[in-house]
Every structure is written in structure tokens, then in C-alpha cells.
A and B are shown apart, each in its own frame.
Chain A
Amino acid sequence: MQTKRAIFPNKFLPYALLAPQLAITFVFFFWPAAQAVKQSFYKEDPFGLSSRFVGLANYTKLFQEPDYLNSIGRTAVFAISTTGLALILALIFAVAVDRLIRSRNAYTTLLLWPYAVAPAVAGILWWFMFNPTVGILPYMLDVVGYDWNHRLNQTDAMILIVLAASWKQISYNFIFFLAGLQAIPKSLKEAAAIDGAGPVKSFFTIILPLLSPTSFFLLVVNIVSALFDTFAIIDATTAGGPAQGTNVLVYKVYQDGFIGLNLGSSAAQSVILMAVVILLTVIQFRYIERRVQY
């Protein structure tokens, strides 16, 4: 790992400097994580009076439980649609803004502020627009003959949270795509134009390949965010319903733990999710180090 050529010789100072962060990380991260791992091997009664060791039973039971398998499926549908929608729209907006000169800053400002909106608030905004009684969108859909009701229809509920989550995510992706586009040398685009490539051809043969590091980075970040930031959106709108229709993995950890009080199963789900995140972090880190050091 990189460091400075010249360093300070102190023996104890570095530990003192690291102490606050390591202490907090240990108490609020490693200790709870270890507890989750331990708990996932035990079966506890909901009142916390007794617990017994059950080995891997919590895990094996999880993968036989239809609700959990359903939750994996819902999470996949949600993550793929949100990531796809947010990435494609953001890329279109970024390419459009990058073409402009005078109005570039104005458009950027108008597109980036949803980053500041809390996911829970984004959920409530869309929930209000889609509200079957007073919402404007069900009214418009009714005109074309579609009876919208996200309280009863699972597909409607899924569309609602996908829209709310993508709406929130677009601005983030947009900022990164725009930064990536502006790092592409002008001379490459000019060379392509001189060789007779039209805007569409030069986009697919020059711009898109040069954007691939940014796109890969955003893909991982978007998947992580679709897996976890969704919690607030779902809790503020559908609460996992109707009939488990939007009960994604991270919401199920909470529901089984805090509401269902099935602590062993909730802990096992936590451990699985932690493993997924750590895997994604390692993938991301390998990519970061490669880009920093070339």
C-alpha cells in the first residue's frame, strides 16, 4: 500500500490518531457484525429468554422459505429496472448537456438538485402523485383506461418504487457521466468528425467505450444503492406490500427482525447481505486502485 517516502518516526502517535475512528468502527460495526454472525447460528425465542445453537439451520431454512426466494426475485427486478432506468436517462442527459456550451451550467443546476432529496421524501412525493384517491397520475391513467392501484396491484407498487428510486438516482449518475464526458479529449471527437463519423457513430465508437470506467463504477454504486438505500423509499410508501410484492431483501431483514421478531433468521439475512456488500466493495476497490495507479 502506498505511503510517503519520508515519514514521521513517532511510535505511538499514529495509534492515537487512529483511535477515535477505530473505536467507533469497532463498537458500532465489528461488534454488531460479529453479533449478527453469532446470532445467525442460534434460534432465540421472541422474548429473548432462551436461545439454542442450531448450526446452519437458519440459513438452510431461509433458502427453502418461499417468502425469501420471492424477496430475492423482487430485489433483482427492482435493482435491474432502477439501475437500468437511472443509468440510461442520466447518460442521455449528460450527453445532451455536454453538447452545449452557453446553457451548460443552467441545465446542470436544474438536473442535479434531486441528489439532495432524502429517499424517504422522494418516496412520499411519488406516493402522493400516484395516490389512487387524489393523485394526478392515476387520474391521467384512468383517462386512457388503466385502473392504477398500488395498494392492491403488485406491478403498480413495483413501478412506483422503481420510479421514485430512479428519480432520486439520476442526478448522481448525471454528475459522474458529465465529469467523464468532459475528461474525453476534444481532439478524438474532432478526428472522428473529420473522418466522416456522424454524431451517432462517434457516440457508439468513441464516447461510449471511453466512458466505460465511469459506467462500470456507476453500475456497482447503483446496484449497492438499489439494494440498500431503497429501505427508506419502501418504508415510506409500500412497506413491502401488497402481499410481499415489494419486500426486497434489506426490508425483509428489518421486517423479520423488528416486526416479526425472528432474530435468528433476520441475523442470517444480515450476514448474507454483508457478504454481498463486502464482495462488491472488493470489486470496486480493485477497480479504484487500477485507475489510480494505471
Chain B
Amino acid sequence: MVQNNTWLNALTHLILILGIVFVAFPVYIAIIASTRGSFDFLQGLVPLLPGTEAIENYSRILNAGVSTSGAPPLGLMMTNSLVMALSIALGKIFISILSAFAIVYFRFPFRTLAFWMIFITLMLPVEVRIMPTFKVVADLGLLNSYAGLTIPLIASATATFLFRQFFLTVPEELMEAARIDGAGPMKFFRDILLPLSRTNIAALFVILFIYGWNQYLWPLLVTTDSSYYTVVMGIKRMADVADSEPQWNLVMAAVVLAMLPPIVVVIGMQKLFVKGLVESEK
């Protein structure tokens, strides 16, 4: 920076530290609560220092779950979430890279119409058309299945749009050279376009994985069989007990475990994640 103002620098750090405290405080409280015994909450105030029952709470929630609220062990729900997040991420990438390839590298009747049909779904979340979509899935007999959990969420335009934008920047010469050398479209796609898209695919994967893991309403509706519960919706069932306070230490242990995989993915792949996020919205 041009100006080197000591006061301004101090203020900058102060603002950022306050910001981090604001951002981290709820999670700190959750972690503390997850290490406490259930009696620690009876005095009427959340403790601010860690307790000693962390291992007990976490192993109980992972292996047994909270019996009073009918939620299955967290281990099972986390596996379901993982299956759902991976299928949604990979499924979206697969169908959208193919359709972006078709839209950019071919000219055919109804091309613009096809593009708009996909694009119009860009910002239309499942919450808005929830009743009729639920009915379609029910009629197809997909309730309580992994297919019902994932396939309806695979259709979305974000990934298609990102790949389209990226393909438009790929030099024309590559495609001309490939054609002169006698490569057909699928060979060009497999041997040239796919390797070039590697970074984009990885960046998109981070975002879509988080999207899939964090789904809430859809799993809430299509699963009534508790063996298909996902972790984000399952927590709500644990926290929602009638006529009494929930077992906060266990609920918060579940919250911490539910946050962990996506946070690890975001921090571990920070560069790719930022790139994917900023570029997919360009």
C-alpha cells in the first residue's frame, strides 16, 4: 500500500481480529459444549471452558446416536451425506461437461433453446418448486432411496455455464489441429478438452461437494426411513425434542462433526475453491 500509516495498520488488524472473533465464536461455543457432560447445562448457562467428556460424547453420538429423538447413529448419517455429496458433485460435473461441449462445439437446430432451457434453472432452488417436485419423485417411486436423494438435485446450470465459459477460451487452433489430424469429436473431447479442464473440474468439485453435503430440505422430505437420513437434517431431529431441552452436549458434538468434512475440504483446497467460486459466477 502506498500510505504507511501506523494507526491505520493497527485499526486494520483490530477490525480483522474482531471479524474473526465474530465468525468463530459460535463454533467455539459449540466445540466447548460438545466436551461437557449433560449436567453442566442445568445451571442455566453455557460453560466457556472445555470439559472432560469429549471422547465419551463423540463416540456415543457416532456409534449410538440420540435414542430419544429417533435419530440413527451419526456414523450412518455421515456415510449417507458422503454418498449424497459425492453423487451430486460427480453427477453434475458429468452431465454438464457433456452438455457444455455440445453447446460450444456443435451447431445444430434448437441450440439456443437448449442453452436457455438449461440456463433458466440457474438460480431456481428446489425450495421454490418443492411440492410438485416431491410429487414427481414420489410417483417415480424414488422416496427413501439414494436415487431420489441425488438425481433431482443434479440438474442445475451452474456447472454447465462454467464449462461453457471455459470452453470458449480454449484456443480454436487446438480443435482445428485435432480435426486435421483426423480426430473425431469424442476423441478430441477425451484427449484434449478433458485434460485441459482438470483444474476447473477440481474447483467445481469443491463447490458442488459442499452444496450436496449441506442439503437440508430435500433429504427432509424424501426420507422417512431413518437409514437414509443425512447428517444436516438429522441434527434438526435431535435438537427438536418435545417438552424438554435437547441434550445439548450431544447435539453440539453432532454439529461439530457435520461441519467438519466441508470445512476441511474448503480449507484444504482453498486456492481451488476460491478460483471455482469466483469463476463459476463470472
Interface residues of chain A, those whose CB is within 8 Å of chain B, are 1-8, 10-11, 13-15, 17-18, 20-22, 24-25, 27-33, 35-36, 39, 89, 92-93, 96-97, 99-100, 103, 107-122, 124-129, 133-136, 139, 167, 170-172, 175-176, 179, 189-190, 193, 198-199, 217, 221, 224, 228-229, 231-232, 235-236, 250, 253-254, 257-258, 263, 266-267, 270, 273-274, 277-278, 280-281, 284-285, 288, 291-292
Contact (A115, B168) CB under 8 Å given A29-B121, A124-B236, A136-B46 = no
CB distance from A121 to the nearest CB of B (A): 6
Chain B contacts of A274 at CB under 8 A? 124, 128-129
Q: How far is the CB of B237 from chain A (nearest CB, A)?
A: 10
- Select one of A119, A124, A199, A235 contacting B251, CB under 8 A: A124
Of listed B30, B96, B186, B266, residue having the most chain A CB within 10 A: B266
Does B9 sit within 8 A of A, measured CB to CB? yes
Given A175-B278, A236-B239, is A25 in contact with B131 using a C-beta cutoff of 8 Å?
no
- A136-B45, A175-B277, A193-B2 are known contacts. Are A229 and B282 too (CB-CB below 8 A)? no
A120 touches B236 (CB 8 A): yes
Of A129, A193, A217, most B-chain CB atoms within 10 Å: A129
A5–B107 Cα distance when bound, in Å, is 10
List the interface of chain B (C-beta within 8 A of A): 1-3, 5, 8-9, 12-13, 15-16, 19-20, 22-27, 29-30, 33, 41, 44-46, 48, 94-96, 98-99, 101-108, 111-112, 114-115, 117-125, 127-133, 135-137, 151-152, 154-155, 160, 165, 168, 172, 175-176, 179, 184-186, 188, 210, 213-214, 216-217, 220-221, 232-233, 235-236, 239, 245, 248, 251-252, 255, 258-259, 262-263, 265-267, 270, 273-274, 277-278, 281-282
Contacts A92-B15, A93-B15 known; A110 to B20 CB distance under 8 Å? yes
Contacts of B106 in A (CB 8 A): 7-8, 10, 13-14
Q: With the chains together, A13 CA to B186 CA distance in Å?
A: 9
Nearest chain A CB to B155 CB, angstrom units: 4
Contact B172 A6 (CB under 8 A): yes
What would 21 A/B residue contacts be, using CB atoms closer than 8 Å? A3-B107, A6-B172, A14-B103, A18-B103, A20-B94, A22-B99, A22-B114, A24-B151, A25-B118, A31-B136, A96-B12, A118-B213, A118-B262, A120-B216, A125-B30, A134-B45, A193-B2, A266-B131, A267-B131, A270-B130, A291-B282
